[in-house]
Homo-oligomer: A and B are copies of this chain.
């Protein structure tokens, strides 16, 4: 379907549109305009129309967007019309929180495997899942063909564990550790960094 290269900056906005549209659906709203969507996500209506036009004709002049259709299209474009198994590495506070997080359901991801290096934690259950030993991580991730990992280990462990994840065939890492890591160019990397959100707001405070 998508034949041309889409700039990553556009890709980065699609999940934000999708989240807002899914919330509108949950509230029983079936159609919207680029103006209304723009107000909800803080992005200009013109930018939204331009971004979405990269993928085809989704809206109609005058009537706007039919949300169920647009949600389906965005889920397809973002490859979240399927369920991705995700491995969580590091079962400290963040790892536990992520493993129990309710916000993944219906959005394309399923926490399927948990790992820690601490013998006191290995074998413990979080929900239905048993915490596995990090030393078996490479083989287990390979066997289950998991492609996505959330990295919630301490800062000093982040790079060596990331190297192992790459070895295991992981293609996308969401890094919660407050440290920069390096991965090969074929592996995708995103950071969860609360400071970014805080600084974006402190700009407006005095």
Contact = CB atoms under 8 A, between A and B. Distances in A.
Nearest to A186: B204
Top 10 A-B residue pairs of the complex, sorted by shortest distance between their CB atoms: A103-B178, A93-B97, A172-B201, A190-B197, A15-B199, A188-B201, A94-B97, A93-B96, A15-B196, A79-B202
Interface string A106-145: 0111000000000000000000000000000000000000
Most chain B beta-carbon contacts within 10 A, residue among A8, A97, A102, A199: A199
Contacts of A84: 198, 202, 205
B171 A19 contact: no
A200 B11 contact: yes
Interface of A: 8-9, 11-12, 14-16, 18-19, 23, 42-44, 47, 77-80, 84, 86, 92-94, 96-98, 100-104, 107-109, 147-148, 150, 155, 171-172, 174, 178, 180, 188-206
A144 B178 CA distance: 28
Contacts of A8: 42
Contact of A80 (B15, B16, B97, B202): B202
Contacts of A193: 19, 103
Given A18-B199, A23-B180, A93-B97, 20 more contacts: A16-B196, A19-B195, A78-B202, A84-B198, A84-B202, A86-B198, A107-B199, A108-B195, A108-B198, A109-B195, A147-B205, A172-B198, A172-B201, A172-B202, A172-B205, A174-B194, A174-B197, A188-B201, A190-B201, A192-B197
